[in-house]
Amino acid sequence: MSEQAEGSRGGLFGTGGRFSGQVDPIMEKFNESINFDKRMWSQDLRGSIAYAKATQKVGILTEEERDTIVAGLEKVMEEWAAGTFELKAGDEDIHTANERRLTEIIGPLGGKLHTGRSRNDQVATDTRLWIVEAERDILKDIATLLGASAEFAREHIDVLMAGYTHLQPAQPIRFAHWLMSHMAAIQRDAQRLTELIPRANQCPLGSGALAGNAFGVDREFLAKELGFEGVTSNSLDSVCDRDFVAEFLMWHSLFLVHLSQMAEDLIINNMLKCVDMADAYATGSSLMPQKKNPDALELLRGKAGVAIGRSVGLMATLKGLPRAYNKDLQEDKVPLFDAVDTVKDCLAIATGVIVTMKPNPKMLLKALCPEMLATDLADYLVRKGVPFRETHHISGACVRLAEEKEISIDTLTLQQLQEIDSRFEEDVLKVWNYEESVERKSSIGGTAKARVLEQIDQCVAFAQKLNDA
């Protein structure tokens, strides 16, 4: 961001009086930021309109001048909205571009707008406005993902699947329970993002270059005009604080890690033919006609690595900066914009993948194995008063016997079980039922149907709360 006036030279809006030499054309290109910060045109113009009103309140502008400037800024806003705004040579950033166009429309009066204001507090204001709007939009997209996933889970509530630890068969669960496990992480992400907004939503406008505003503008008025929740407390900190950007980048890296984990689960289940991905989110092979590759999922998985890099990169940039504004801070915009775009794209893709995928109940059931009920076998004896540490050992002996005989554990006879422990009775044979196993996990958060439905209902309610915010 070419927001520091001290870093500019020449032209109507620079500081050409200080310099006599010409800028190296390569430096001019190196310095400009208009090609990426132009997406903050609306925020920049809104900030300028509010500032014009604030300067009129302290006598810098007359009411007529204020109205003329505001009308001119609204004209510039119309041009951006219509796609007719023309960038010109010398428009090094969105601030100079907008002020240049304002002056073309209303004449030299446009030069009064910047009185007492620096591009340092101007860009901090624009960026905070932009990121808060982006975060709120993302929360709406998360609500869509959560709501769609919850209803998909409800639709497939009776489908069972294998649960794994260490990628080894562990215990039977519901497919809906698996999906809600990922949505539980996404809900935490939404909570964290919600908590970022109040810290970002503080108004730095009126802080000047670093020392404050020399004309006593009412910063609380500016905050109210722009929809901020409050004002930043220290002018020096206001112009160099990028915590709110760093926090978002850290947030987006964790969020994409969670999507990556879900994608990996689906890639594995797709490979096992337990879940079929829609053609819209897969590609074929340029050589092997039989291939159907889960590219959307692999890209979701891969985006997390780049996200972590963005977060670490900005932190490294911030690490050694002296106080107040430094041009290094221009490097926060590209990773921020890329992060927001990536998150929104990934949310759209993830939602599409989930609502169009087709779980294969037969293959999911086939992935279950009786050995996954070994814990249920141990629990059987617990219910008869045997300490769990002992029942765990007994159940392990049953697993070992089945392996030695090269048979499935559920085919062990009652006699064979009783030879291991005489407390096994005829009703032990009822243990080998996957549906009853998941239903026995009836505590809050468990796999019992009623409990999974509770998770689904809670997810829907959470999504609705996000939408209503």
What amino acid positions are annotated as catalytic residues? 166, 285
419 Cβ contact list (under 8 Å, min separation 6): none
H or E stretch at 171: strand 168-174
The encoded tokens of residue 44 equal 């920049």
Closest CA to 222 of 199, 62, 213: 213
Amino acid at the residue 276: D
Contact of 375 with 395, CB cutoff 8 Å: yes
Tell me, what DSSP letter sits at residue 293?
A: B
CA distance 355 to 323: 49
Written as six digits, the tokens of 342 are 């990536």
Please state whether 276 falls in left (phi above 0), alpha (psi between -120 and 50) or beta: beta
Compute the Cα dihedral for 167, 168, 170, 172 and give only its sign. positive
264-279: burial string, b at 16+ Cβ within 10 Å, e else: ebbbebbeeebbbbee
Q: Which residues are CB-neighbours of 223 under 8 A, at least 6 positions away?
A: 202, 203, 205, 229, 230, 231
Burial of 78 (0-12, 13-18, 19+ CB in 10 A): exposed
Least Cα distance to 117 among 50, 72, 177, 71 occurs for: 50
What angle, rounded to 10 degrees, do the helices at 243-271 and 333-356 form?
30
Cβ pair 238, 127 in contact under 8 A? no
CA 371 from centroid of its chain's CA atoms: 39
Q: Are 359 and 156 in contact (CB under 8 A)?
A: yes
DSSP 8-state assignment for residue 279: G
In angstroms, the CA 365 to CA 159 distance is 8
Q: Which residue has the tokens 């500016």?
A: 222
Under 8 Å between Cβ of 373 and 410: yes
Angle at 378 between CA 375 and CA 381, to 5 degrees: 150
In sequence order, what are the residues at sequence separation of 6 or more whose Cβ sits closer than 8 angstroms to the Cβ of residue 280? 352, 356
Question: Which residue do the tokens 């070992």 mark?
Answer: 400
